[in-house]
Amino acid sequence: MTLGMSLSAFTTFHVALSLIGIGSGLIVLLGLIAGRLYRLLTGIFLAFTVATSLTGFLFPFHGVTPAIKLGILSMVALAIALAALYLFHLAGHWRGTFVISAAIALYFNVFVLIVQSFEKVPALHALAPTQSEPPFKFAQIVTLVAFVVLTVLAYRPPARVPPR
């Protein structure tokens, strides 16, 4: 039992946190590309992504696993994003720092979503049962490239529209 829940219920809770974090994070990232900061959604993204990482540490494990290492890296990225937003109010270079750290935290969650999808979805598992096959690698590479492009687009300062 974890947090008073069966392992199955806790896993469902963890996955729900993750999906809310990913959905809100994608909207936040698209908003940043458009030069907008959706404060409420950004708070939801950060809170649910922190909760996802924290609950990830509560699963039964033996030793330091790749998931634990990724969770630690995610928490570092989230701490930087939280500081950039709430301590430094995105002033100066902190806007870019926020964009990069938030995008990294979001990417880590999407990376895990892909890993878990290839483990749990029968059709995907059949394509890449050991996650070393080309379909899995292709999915991860396309996702990484997409996140690099989206992060670069979000990092650029919004275009100034000249007055008429």
122-155 pLDDT, tens digit per residue, is: 999 999 999 999 999 999 999 999 999 999 999 9
Which residue range(s) make up the domain with 40?
7-155
Residue 1 lies inside a defined structural domain of this protein: no
Domain count, the chain: 1
Q: Give me the helices (H) in the chain, please.
A: 7-33, 39-56, 66-82, 94-120, 122-127, 134-155
Nearest-angstrom CA–CA distance, 31 and 51:
22
Q: Is the dihedral of CA 79, 80, 84, 88 positive or negative?
A: positive
Residue 164 lies inside a defined structural domain of this protein: no
Residue 88 lies inside a defined structural domain of this protein: yes
User: pLDDT digits over 25-73, tens only?
Assistant: 999 999 999 999 999 999 999 999 999 999 999 998 888 988 999 999 9
Nearest-angstrom CA–CA distance, 22 and 141:
18
Residue 54 lies inside a defined structural domain of this protein: yes
The three-state secondary structure class of 100 is: helix
Q: What per-residue confidence (pLDDT) applies to 63?
A: 86
Residue 37 lies inside a defined structural domain of this protein: yes
pLDDT-based confidence at residue 164 (cuts at 50, 70, 90):
low
| Contact call for residues 35 and 152 (beta carbons, < 8 A) | no
Residue 163 lies inside a defined structural domain of this protein: no
> What is the model's pTM?
0.92
What one-character DSSP code corresponds to residue 87?
A: I
Nearest-angstrom CA–CA distance, 164 and 159:
15
